[in-house]
Amino acid sequence: MTQECCNTPRWNRENWPIAAAMINFPGVLPDGSLVQEQSVDQWAETLQQVVDAGFTELDPTDSWLRVADLSPSRLREFQYVVKTLGLTIPAISTTRRSSVIDPDHADEYLAYNHRVIETAAAIGAKAVSFGLFGQFTEEQKKRLWFWTADGVKNPDDAATYQKAVTRIRELGKHAAEYGIEVSLEMYEDTYIGTADGAVRFVNDVDVPSVGINADIGNLVRLHKPVEHWSAMIDKIVPYAKYWHVKNYMRIEDPDQGIYLSYPTSLALGIINYRIAVQKAIACGFKSAFLCEHYGGDGLTVCGMNREYLRTILPR
């Protein structure tokens, strides 16, 4: 599958959909109850914070709420809350529910991902984001920053790789039936954990509705050598679809073997998003953005990042 660059922006800086990620809100509450089981009023209380941060779009990230597992009546209730608050949902992101690598849950997650596609169509979302990364390890759960410990790796064998290609192709064809794009999130130690690997994987899937979630923030934060952000962007932007954006400060001293990072805003981090976004749009990028941030008041930082994006998008 080849993709040509062409400058055809779909929106402008005033109306480009920029969603808030719900990773800043836990799916399990302090009393042990689940957001999945909350009342309409409780959902509204949380989403009001998103509105107060200036967002008109959100992504109900499934670490917070699995909208694809809501009953029809509960889904209608959730849609009512979203609409009442003046929000829209451009996309649905999944996290740590790989349909490939988990030996106990891969088939269950494949069925779940199909439900995500159908739910996205039902609520008017135009994209879904899937990943090939696994659940946190016990060591990752102990760390201040989970990316400083090794996570679950995709197996280095041809059969599992082909299984991943086949299953993502299946999901991509299903999504295409609804006019929905599938964006595959770049993440370390997966088949889409490098720019070259992501391009190869998407070309092997060979379904036009399937592209790359160019979330290279997941890579520049690693405490080890990584490819320069600009080189990665040049390779992946022709394939970019729904895009999770976040940034990190990065310090390198290869002679001392030192590689350190910490989260910061889009404008201040190592990735120059002014250049990255302009290159993507020049290659025909016309999907929504999702603002993510780890640490501190992540929702407020996401709001700052939204306003920064507005300044660099086309007039």
Convert 127-182 into a string of H (helix), E (strand) and C (coil): EEEECCCCCCCHHHHHCCCHHHCCCCCCCCCHHHHHHHHHHHHHHHHHHHHCCCEE
Q: What is the pLDDT of residue 126?
A: 97
For the purposes of burial, counting CB atoms within 10 Å of the CB of 75, is it exposed (0-12), middle (13-18) or buried (19 or more)?
Answer: middle
| Per-residue b or e along 129-151, where b marks 16 or more CB atoms closer than 10 Å to that residue's CB | bbbbbbeeeeebeeeeeebeeeb
Token couple for 138:
């016990």
CB 17 within 8 Å of CB 88: yes
Q: What is the pTM of this model?
A: 0.94
Token couple for 184:
């595959």
Beta-sheet strand order (sheet of 91-93): 91-93, 127-130, 181-185, 210-213
How far apart are the C-alpha atoms of 62 and 22, rounded to whole Å?
A: 8
Amino acid letter for position 272: N
CB 286 within 8 Å of CB 3: no
Name residues of the chain where pLDDT drops below 70: 1-9
How far apart are the C-alpha atoms of 299 and 23, rounded to whole Å?
A: 9
Phi, psi of 274 (to 5 degrees): -60, -45
The domain locations on the chain are 18-312
Q: What is the pLDDT of residue 9?
A: 57
Residues whose CB is less than 8 angstroms from the CB of residue 137 and which lie 6 or more positions away in sequence, other chains included: 149, 150, 151, 152
Q: At what angle do helices 195-205 and 158-177 cross, to 10 degrees?
A: 60
Q: What is the pLDDT of residue 274?
A: 98
pLDDT digits over 6-59, tens only?
A: 555 579 999 999 999 999 999 999 999 999 999 999 999 999 999 999 999 999
Q: What is the pLDDT of residue 99?
A: 81
> What architecture is domain 18-312?
Alpha-Beta Barrel (3.20)
Q: What is the pLDDT of residue 1?
A: 53
Token couple for 180:
């929905």
CB 223 within 8 Å of CB 267: no
State which H helix or E strand residue 268 sits in. none
